[in-house]
């Protein structure tokens, strides 16, 4: 057998990215944080100090306004602690690296620039939490690859949605609130007390990280 094809195959194998299971989870070490942002109080009664904006879009993620159904989401709706912003960026980048031909990860609301109440007067149902920069809404990937929110549960690419839930759990999320319908079907499951079904989450998961 000619040696050249063998050497080419070995070189290709060595340069290939590691499988998804071998990738490091997106845990952001404290030493990497430089902005001094702080979450004060509780997610449902708190505020954000030195919040960091999540970008309008990137190669890995787009932003979406759920109440209005449009993209990008306005800048004042997407501030979080530096740890939250870095975690979301990391999860989105790792997902994109595994699936370069799929749609980017959709990011909806984080918190207001200084945190505080983010209720119904800001559109739709508003948020009972999202007050101190630790919460983010992440759209479920759609089966048709539209960079927009699912309209019904049947629009959701369940396998990829589960992959994102797992990625946030591996990143150390305190809670991931998910669609009750998808949870009942066994599609979106995870550690007990961490992945929790909650109504009004059929279009997106709600991720809360630790301070």
Domains of the chain, with CATH numbers? 43-208 (3.30.1380.10)
Is residue 56 a contact partner of residue 147, using CB atoms and an 8 Å limit? Answer: no
152: helix, strand or coil = coil
The yes-or-no verdict on residue 17 having pLDDT over 60 is no
pLDDT digits (tens, 9 = 90+) for 159-205: 999 999 999 999 999 999 999 999 999 999 999 999 999 999 999 99
The per-residue pLDDT of the chain, averaged, comes to 91
Binned at pLDDT 50, 70 and 90, residue 24 comes out as: confident
* Residues ≥6 apart with Cβ < 8 Å to 128: 44, 119
53 touches 72 (CB < 8 A): no
d(CA 192, CA 139): 22
Least confident of 21-30, 84-93, 189-198: 21-30
CA 160, CA 163: separation in Å to the nearest integer?
5
């Amino acid at each position: 057998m000619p040696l050249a094809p063998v050497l080419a195959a070995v070189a290709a194998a060595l340069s290939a990215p590691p499988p998804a299971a071998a990738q490091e989870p997106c845990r952001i070490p404290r030493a990497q944080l430089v902005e001094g942002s702080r979450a004060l109080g509780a997610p449902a009664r708190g505020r954000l100090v030195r919040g960091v904006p999540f970008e309008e879009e990137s190669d890995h993620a787009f932003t979406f306004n759920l109440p209005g159904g449009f993209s990008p989401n306005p800048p004042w709706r997407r501030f979080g602690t530096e740890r939250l912003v870095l975690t979301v960026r990391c999860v989105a980048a790792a997902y994109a690296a595994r699936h370069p031909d799929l749609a980017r990860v959709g990011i909806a609301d984080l918190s207001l620039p200084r945190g505080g109440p983010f209720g119904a007067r800001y559109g739709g149902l508003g948020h009972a939490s999202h007050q101190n920069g630790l919460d983010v809404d992440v759209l479920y990937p759609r089966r048709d690859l539209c960079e927009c929110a699912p309209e019904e549960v049947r629009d959701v690419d369940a396998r990829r949605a589960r992959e994102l839930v797992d990625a946030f759990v591996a990143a150390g999320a305190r809670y991931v609130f998910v669609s009750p319908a998808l949870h009942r079907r066994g599609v979106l499951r995870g550690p007990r007390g961490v992945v929790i079904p909650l109504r009004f989450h059929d279009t997106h998961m709600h991720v809360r990280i630790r301070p």
